[in-house]
A and B are shown apart, each in its own frame.
Chain A
Amino acid sequence: MHLVIVGNGVAGITAALAVRAKDAQAEITVISGEGEYFFSRTALMYAFMDQMQRRDLEPYERHVFREKRITLRRGWVTDLDAEGRCLSLADGVAVSYDKLLLATGSRGRRAEWERKLEGVVNFVTLQDLEACERLTPGTKRAVVAGGGLIGVELVECLVHHRVATTFLVREATYWPAALSPEEGEMVVAHIRAQGVDLRLATEVASLEGEGRVNGVVTTAGDKIGCEMVGVTIGVEPNVDWLRGVKTPPELGRGVVTDGGFRTSLPHVFAAGDVAEVNGQIEPLWYAAKRQGAAVARAILGETMEYGAPTYYNSAKFFHLEWTCAGETKGPGRFRKLPGRDASVRVLERDGIVTGFSMLGSRWNHRVLVKWLEERRKTEDVMGRLSEAQYDVEFGRVAL
């Protein structure tokens, strides 16, 4: 069997290694356009901040791929012919397959006001990272538009490089998709304390400049002069390239698959950020990894019905750590912890816990998820919250 994987992200590489673990014979080829080796997209910010060099971003030493006989090819796939079981690359080379895995990840969502100007960047790919590094020395002020997790990471990097930064957030409170208004306020105060000009309920109306950007006009009518604009208004499955191929798979928001990661095309699977599995997209690192491991079993012939497990996530807003599990929106009990920048919020319905959102200290999401799955009573959970704390030794935060 020749398995060809498009995309060397965490989904693609996890799948390749998992197939190899079970099948010593299979020929495995991974084709990817962004770079030759798998790297941690999640560490893009640490590379930008100079805390890591490029090689440090690679989760596996390079010899692993040789030892596991996984052929890595650099190139952009431009065509897919499911009848001939063949791919074409941008450089004209054709690659045939027996089984194909599409793991092409996400790309930055484009804004309506976006124009191709020097100085306008996304923060998703290695090429974006290079652009950021190139632009930073000549940048006095930057504007970052979009208050999601990638936005705040980009802002942190710019602040690290002592670039004056304006952070435009569309919503009236910070990240209402996951944070309560009180939590949003804490995060806003924390970000502002780092010297960031954070403006809520404000968007970019238009960009100024010809050839290269020299400012933005906000929806509040303000003009902000800047040399760099970061567009971080979210990501979307990277499916555009599939629209014009000879035999496109069925596309929804992502590549549509069933619970066994099968697309509408025979022998073609999809997993990771690009896949819409039973109508659901999970644009998360651990989800892409989990899907990569699961799709490997599907490729090897196992019948399966993948279901996303109880949701959890964690993130960091500058120095404020955040962990959530289950639901993050709805009625619940919020408590600011005494004397420090930390809080806990326990969501409930009819006396049963439905979710957790913990800001400013460390938590073991496994324990939280277990309580959710056991449908514990809120009273019970409130009394034993400390069992889920995960602070460093000597550092347990008083609840």
Chain B
Amino acid sequence: MIRDRLYHDMTNRGVTGWLMAALLTAFYVVLYFTEALTPWAQRVGLSSKWDLYGVLYTVAIVGGGLAVMRKYGHNRYQVIRTSVVMFVQVVFAFSIPQMLKAMHQPELYLSYFWPLKFDYGNPEYLAQQPMWFIVYSIAGGLVLVPLAGAFFGKRWYCSWVCGCGGLANTFGEPWRHLSDKSTAAWKFEKVSVYSVLGISLALTGILVYSWTTGSKAPVVVEFQSWYGLIVGSVLSGVVGVGLYPLGGTRVWCRFFCPMAALLGITQRAGKRFHIRVKEDMCISCGLCSKYCEMGIDVRAYAQMNESFTRASCVGCGVCSEVCPRGVLRLESESGLVQITVGR
């Protein structure tokens, strides 16, 4: 059927896949680097292009989320996780900031933390915010996020709360299998993601220093604006989402996100979250690897009977969902309770 063929083409780097990538990339270039979307926003009664983007983003997560819940409807983990992702987007990443703005308060996003939202760790920016938010941000970014990462794995953030992960796991679902599974990609990932983390830590350190000393050198200003341009706009937006139809949905999360890198470290160090492999049941079919959005070669562990924790694993649970022999199980000891449900 023509519909099936088109879908296949779009989700397997066919002509329509490339077209889609071009379209998404173009959208982000226009959004970040021009004002062309502003009149469109005003036409529908929104004050800026960013509000329009917020609406589109929320629609994409809710629409994609509903499709995912239909697809994995038999899997409680997926249904609950996807509901939470949609809820967080609608409430914390959209409604609350809009309400704050309507009340002439600073527009604050409670579901984002430093170092993903870089400003929330920048003292210069924080100092201008209400006290409760300063406490929330610092406690959240420095304590809550890593601690929860050590206990439950990074999934609690990356695939339950975060908006970038949220978009990937809803709107991006049809492209998840395009991630690169090669060892070479894994090597690149280790260099790139920890480099971005290093740079963002260094910049934060410099900004804290400048703020305490009260003088900010021009080169620091330059550094900061380059970081914003490259990491904030190009890598997370243009490359991160633009490349969905070519490189899979987690290009940003896997190769560049400093928060994912930090959480990955706590996930490994916490030694609680892991993917359990049922012994001698894997048939090496490879579905788990194919559908891993982070490009983890899950099969390589499963066929060796090795339960494992990988720093990059965002705990989306899809490997466990697609495994036809029920080999894989996400577990966090002392973590999420096993709830029995009858249906």
Contacts and interface: CB of A to CB of B under 8 A. Distances in A.
A24 B88 CA distance: 55
B272 interface: no
Contact of A162 (B1, B325, B330): B1
Chain B interface, >50% SS class: loop
A219 interface: no
Interface string B259-297: 000000000000000000011111111110110000000
B216 interface: no
Interface in B298-313: 299-300, 303
B137 interface: no
Contacts of B18: none
A394 B285 contact: no
A26 to B, nearest CB: 22
A51 interface: yes
A131 to B, nearest CB: 20
Given A51-B290, A364-B278, A286 B283 contact: yes
A398 B77 contact: no
A314 B282 CA distance: 10
Contact of B77 (A51, A321, A392): A392
B339 interface: yes
Given A56-B286, A61-B182, A61-B183, A362 B326 contact: yes
Interface stretch (A42-50, A88-96, A105-113, A230-238): A42-50
Contacts of A393: 76-77, 317, 329-331, 336, 338
A390 B286 contact: no
Contacts of B279: 366
B290 A59 contact: no
A231 to B, nearest CB: 22
A68 B289 CA distance: 23
B317 A392 contact: yes
B283 A42 contact: yes
A393 B278 CA distance: 15
A293 B277 CA distance: 19
Contacts of A50: 8
A140 interface: no
A40 interface: yes
Nearest to A396: B340
B341 interface: yes
A363 interface: yes
B173 interface: no
Given A61-B182, A340-B343, A52 B74 contact: no
A53 B325 CA distance: 20
A242 to B, nearest CB: 27
A57 B339 contact: no
Contacts of B177: 51
A33 B225 CA distance: 60
Nearest to A50: B8
B326 A390 contact: yes
A392 B321 contact: yes
Contact of B76 (A51, A162, A386, A392): A392
A294 interface: no
A345 interface: no
B299 A314 contact: no
A372 to B, nearest CB: 15
Interface in A297-331: 312, 314, 316, 319, 321, 323
A316 B324 contact: yes
Contacts of A40: 283-286
A285 B284 contact: yes
Contacts of A262: none
Contact of B325 (A57, A58, A314, A396): A314
Given A43-B286, A393-B77, A395-B76, A339 B343 contact: yes
Contact of A395 (B8, B183, B287, B341): B341
Nearest to A340: B343
A320 to B, nearest CB: 11
A394 to B, nearest CB: 4
Contacts of A158: none
Contacts of B183: 61
Contacts of B182: 61
Given A59-B299, A365-B281, A394 B76 contact: yes
Interface string A7-49: 0001000000000000000000000000000001011001000
A392 B286 contact: no
B98 interface: no
Interface of A: 10, 40, 42-43, 46, 50-53, 56-59, 61, 161-162, 285-286, 290, 312, 314, 316, 319, 321, 323, 338-340, 362-366, 386, 390, 392-398
28 contacts: A43-B285, A46-B286, A52-B286, A52-B290, A53-B12, A57-B286, A285-B283, A286-B280, A286-B281, A314-B281, A314-B325, A319-B74, A321-B324, A321-B325, A365-B278, A365-B281, A390-B329, A392-B77, A392-B321, A393-B329, A394-B336, A394-B338, A395-B75, A395-B76, A397-B340, A397-B342, A398-B341, A398-B342
